[in-house]
Amino acid sequence: MSRSPEVRLADVDEPMLERLLELAQLDASADDVTPPLGNGTGWNAERIDWFRAYHRSAAAGLDGPASEKSWAVLCCGSPAGSIRLKRTSPQSSVPRTPGEATLGSGEVETGIWLGRSYRSRGVGGAALGLVLAEARRAGLHQVVASTTAGNIGAQRLLTAAGGVLTHDDGAVGAVVVLSTDSH
């Protein structure tokens, strides 16, 4: 049995942003990474501009103006893709204990993309585990995700992480309830 790859999350600064963009253009479909923008399919100027703007706005974190945080997924030190958390409900202003950050309320949404050469190698599952740990540390209660009925790999990842799947007309939703107890 092969050993799981070394996976970690890294903040997306400008140099990392350019490394992620290069990976995305060389090893991922634009449709897997960005919304449909511009004329035609594939990587175009509009999609490249969106990619950069998205990661720059998500750099401020869950408490920033975009209420979103993205990380580079690193596999053995190289960019393999990106994963995110985005608030889907307002945050509470009640501190957990004096001096601590405010407790997140409700839920966050997650999403991930990986370069083709990093898929089916355990990278996605490891990254999802790390981002769920980030959500727990932020005091959040649940993480939701969505995918398509045809994306069996994503469904397996979500189920393995404890997600409960729902199916609705070709769309698949998942909810992972987080335990924030430290006992």
Q: What is the CATH number of the domain that holds 90?
A: 3.40.630.30
Q: What is the pLDDT, as a whole number, of residue 180? A: 54
How many of the other CB atoms lie within 10 Å of CB of 83?
Answer: 22
Q: pLDDT for 66-124, tens place per residue?
A: 999 999 999 999 999 999 999 986 554 333 333 333 344 568 999 999 999 999 999 99
Q: Which long-range contacts (CB under 8 A, 24 or more apart) does 169-172 make?
A: 171/146, 171/147, 172/146, 172/147, 172/148
Mean residue pLDDT across the chain: 86
Domain assignment present for residue 182? The answer is no
Q: What is the pLDDT, as a whole number, of residue 69? A: 95
Domain assignment present for residue 124? The answer is yes
Number of separate domains in the chain: 1
Q: Which domain holds residue 159?
A: 7-177
Domain assignment present for residue 112? The answer is yes
Q: What is the pTM of this model?
A: 0.85
HSE, side-chain direction, 13 A CA sphere, residue 148 = 3
Domain assignment present for residue 2? The answer is no
Please give the Cα distance from 98 to 37 (Å, whole number): 46
Domain assignment present for residue 159? The answer is yes
HSE, side-chain direction, 13 A CA sphere, residue 97 = 0
For 116, which DSSP code? G
The single-letter code of the amino acid at 5 is: P
Domain assignment present for residue 27? The answer is yes
Q: What is the pLDDT, as a whole number, of residue 116? A: 96
Domain assignment present for residue 43? The answer is yes
Which residues of the chain form beta strands (DSSP E)? 7-11, 68-75, 78-87, 107-114, 142-148, 164-168, 171-177
How many of the other CB atoms lie within 10 Å of CB of 53?
Answer: 10
Domain assignment present for residue 183? The answer is no
